[in-house]
Amino acid sequence: MKPAGLGRVLALVLALALPARAAAVPATITVQTARGATQLAVRMDRLAGPLVHGGTLVGLLNGTIARREGWYDLTLARQAFRFLPGAPAFAFNDRLQPLAGTAVVLRDSLFLPLQFVAEVLPRVLAERYSWDPRTARLKELVRTPPPATTIARLPNGLRPGHVITVDAGHGGRDPGNPGIYFPRGLREKDVTLQVALLLRDELKGRGIRVVMTRTTDTLINILDRARYCTAECELFVSLHVDALDARARRRFGEVSGFHTIIIGEENTEDADRIANMENEALQYEDAPAQGANDLDYILRNLQMNEYLRESARAAELVQEELAKVHTGTDRGVKQHNRLAVLNTARRPAILVEMGFSTNPNDARLMTRRSSQQSLATALADAIVAYLLEYDRKLGAPSAAGNGR
């Protein structure tokens, strides 16, 4: 802020200024720090009110003071305060705040209003300074650095408090794929729910909080599903069952296995087939699909850039763990840009196709209780491995400052 345009602002600030305190003004104050206690004289000025010597105060508090364009810039506890002599205000974080008195310059020395010491510092830097009005003492509080290992860990090494969203694909009047080799009456929506509930229990047993998009045979809007994974949620996991088109019947026996899909620009070979299949759920929505506006597109691209690496890592770990229990082919991690359920995700997100219902072996694996349990355990192991990496990244000092 330039001093030139200040008149009007100051007039406004003056109107808002706190009334001067009627309390008795001490003749001296004490500044107490880890380096000792020092007395500082209070000087009464007819116009400016009670003052303390700025240079001495700032020196005692290990701060700095610099003069720039008529302003005095103070740095205390790494915070910046600015004073303009004669103005009943100071700037903190570029915002003007009113003062009852003013800073003044007397014989080349800056004097600061006592109110700055007695009220402002203990208020805006409360964790650093306290003021005792009875003894007129400003105390610099010693900060105790947190011990290196204060964060409790669960037996599996995770810190407590992780949140995962598990989405059982389809549901209600959206059956998903018909499950040609599933036992009679079972369809994709039933199998995804069965494994999702087992996965929920596995994750809970590992100390992870789970948010389910559904726990019963209900239809959840496909565009709403990923929104269950809010800011605190660390991964969105959508469970599905793949199937070949009925016309590809000759290949039912040879095509098997599991893959994990993440959002991405590189549509791989199966992309169109999977998108057509999984987006079919859109036809069951009551409301018209609203996922394609510009804002969604921008958000999706942001999300894509921000979480592509995390999503890809989670997907790799899921493939690794599923490979240990699955009898079908490891079909790898795939990228996709047209899957509605992933495109609405604002957090790391994966979609797991657990197997082909058009393959007899896969169908058996996905519907037997014991192998469903193995799938759920493998998925939970992968998620724990992912979160452990995530914890380590956050715990590393080099990664601490990147805002993630």
| Other residues' Cβ atoms within 10 Å of the Cβ of residue 361 | 16
CB of 307 to Zn ion, least distance (A): 22
Residue type present at position 139:
K
| Residue nearest Zn ion, CB atom distance | 240
- Closer residue to Zn ion in complex, CB, 122/257: 257
Interface residue with Zn ion, options 49, 88, 171, 176 (CB under 5 A): 176
Q: Which two tokens stand for residue 125?
A: 């830097």
Q: Which two tokens stand for residue 75?
A: 């740095």
Apex 203 CA angle, 350 and 341, nearest 5: 25
- Closer residue to Zn ion in complex, CB, 348/355: 355
Q: How many whole angstroms separate alpha carbon 108 and alpha carbon 249?
A: 93
Binding mask 121-160 for Zn ion (x = CB under 5 A): ----------------------------------------
- Closer residue to Zn ion in complex, CB, 176/328: 176
- Closer residue to Zn ion in complex, CB, 75/268: 268
Binding mask 216-255 for Zn ion (x = CB under 5 A): ------------------------x---------------
Q: Which residue has the tokens 């790799």?
A: 316
Q: How many whole angstroms separate alpha carbon 323 and alpha carbon 330?
A: 6
Our finding on whether 50 is near Zn ion (CB under 5 A) is no
Q: Note whether 170 and 192 are within 8 A (CB).
A: yes
CB of 167 to Zn ion, least distance (A): 10
Q: Which range of residues in 23-31, 57-65, 277-285, 308-316 is near Zn ion by CB under 5 A?
A: 277-285
Give just the sign of the alpha carbon dihedral 126, 128, 131, 132: positive
Our finding on whether 169 is near Zn ion (CB under 5 A) is yes
**Residue 230: beta bridge partners?**
none
- Closer residue to Zn ion in complex, CB, 176/355: 176
Question: Which distant-in-sequence residues (6+ apart) come within 8 Å of 50 by Cβ?
Answer: 25, 42, 43, 44, 101, 113, 114, 115
CB of 354 to Zn ion, least distance (A): 10
Q: What DSSP state is assigned to residue 135?
A: T
- Closer residue to Zn ion in complex, CB, 48/222: 222
Binding region for Zn ion (CB under 5 A): 169, 176, 240, 278
